[in-house]
Amino acid sequence: MRRILSPFYRIFLSSISFLDDPAGGGSGAPAGEKSFSQADVDRIVSERVARATQPFSGIDPKEFARLKDEEQARQQKEAEKKGEYEKIIAQQKTDSDKEIGSLKAQLAAERIDGALVREAAAQSAISPAQVKELLKSHVRTTEAGGIEVLDAEGKPAFREGKPVTVADLVAGFLKENTHFVSANPPGGGADGDKGGKSAPARKIGELDMSKPEDRKYYEEHYRGQERKK
């Protein structure tokens, strides 16, 4: 005895176009209203499910899950490697910036020291190195590579609308501290050849104290005269 189908199954059967199935004769139009048993419905559903899942036949769900987990782990590892690489690059940049900053500071200090020593020597200071130590906190280098004198507030110093130079700074210091000025400049008076030695061939004002060879020349030819005084 056939079971009368519920309205739900009738709607389902109409949606799957049973007449398109080869068993329906391929007429494309119903010959009359048909009733279907539960077995007919189950068969139709099974056929449709089989067709829908056919592309995934032969795939092991557990194997698929394992491969998916492995791929996720690989992607996570790659992300971690990339993060570590970026950290290393960032650290290298930080170290490089520090080294460059240190070299710039060292070069700036040498330029300032050399400029002060040369100017102090040119203006007959007894100890250019001591004058340099006393004045270098009032001088700094600029981004353009120049040297500027600072006022008491640490700002660029001006005099009569013009920047104060290193020569101006040294001259002002020696004017206020005359005990730093030599009465007889090296090589310029009777004491120039004391001890049987002739005056140095190079004037002290010509020396570049940022250069090792000039500092050595200064030590050999002028430091002894400063100590005698």
Report the pLDDT value the prediction gives residue 158, as an integer from 0 to 100: 93
Name, in order, each residue with C-beta under 8 angstroms of 147's C-beta and a sequence gap of 6 or more. 111, 112, 115, 139, 140, 141, 166
* pTM, rounded to two decimals: 0.45
Taking only the tens place, the pLDDT of each residue in 208-224 is: 777 777 777 777 776 65
Report the pLDDT value the prediction gives residue 24, as an integer from 0 to 100: 46
Give the rounded percent of residues in the chain with a pLDDT score beyond 70. 67
Question: Is 50 exceeded by the pLDDT of residue 28?
Answer: no
Segment holding 137, helix H or strand E: none
Cα(4)–Cα(209) distance, integer angstroms: 113
Q: What is the full DSSP assignment across 162-182? A: EEPPHHHHHHHHHHH-GGGB-
Confidence of residue 191 (pLDDT cuts 50, 70, 90): very low
Two tokens, residue 192: 């120039």
Question: Is 50 exceeded by the pLDDT of residue 163?
Answer: yes
Residue 117's nearest CA partner among 128, 106, 108 is 128
Helix ranges restricted to H, the chain: 7-15, 38-53, 61-122, 128-135, 166-176, 212-218, 224-228
Whether the CB-CB separation of 186 and 222 falls below 8 Å is answered with yes
Query: Locate tokens 């557990």: which residue?
Result: 62
pLDDT higher for 225 or 123?
A: 123
Residue 136's nearest CA partner among 100, 111, 156, 161 is 111
pLDDT higher for 66 or 10?
A: 66
Whether the CB-CB separation of 164 and 183 falls below 8 Å is answered with no
Q: Where do the domains of the chain lie? A: 12-24+34-56, 107-228
Residue 46's nearest CA partner among 21, 11, 24, 64 is 21
Whether the CB-CB separation of 150 and 165 falls below 8 Å is answered with no
Q: How does the average pLDDT of the chain come out, rounded?
A: 75
Confidence of residue 181 (pLDDT cuts 50, 70, 90): confident
Which burial class, exposed, middle or buried, applies to 169 when counting CB atoms under 10 A from its CB (0-12, 13-18, 19+)?
buried
Residue length of the chain: 229
pLDDT higher for 27 or 151?
A: 151
Confidence of residue 200 (pLDDT cuts 50, 70, 90): low
Taking only the tens place, the pLDDT of each residue in 83-107 is: 888 888 888 899 899 999 888 888 8
